[in-house]
Amino acid sequence: VPIVNTQVGQGKALNKIQWDKEGRKTAIGSSDGRVHIYDIGELCIPRENEYTLLQKSVSELINVTESH
């Protein structure tokens, strides 16, 4: 589930990504040759319950897959 999204332009494809060493900023290359820089900031710091929620989601996906 996306927390944040952004539009980079009609018909543009993002095809390369590079994270900075701290994991707080990204440089993303698009198909038109532009580089988009994003400051992820606090979004990249997991909250206390996020690991538990991730485990629950993965378990649910496994259960659905095994039941089919």
26 C-beta neighbours (distance < 10 Å), count: 15
Q: What is the mean pLDDT of the chain?
A: 84
Average pLDDT over residues 25-34: 88
- Predicted TM-score (pTM) of the model is 0.51
Kindly provide the b/e burial profile for residues 27-64, where b requires at least 16 CB atoms within 10 angstroms of the residue's own CB.
ebeeeeeeeeeeeeeeeeeeeeeeeeeeeeeeeeeeee
Can you give 16-51 as a three-state secondary structure string?
Answer: EEEECCCCCEEEEEECCCCEEEEECHHHHCCCCCHH
What pLDDT score was predicted for residue 64? 86
pLDDT digits (tens, 9 = 90+) for 2-26: 566 777 777 778 889 999 998 889 8
What pLDDT score was predicted for residue 6? 73
What pLDDT score was predicted for residue 3? 64
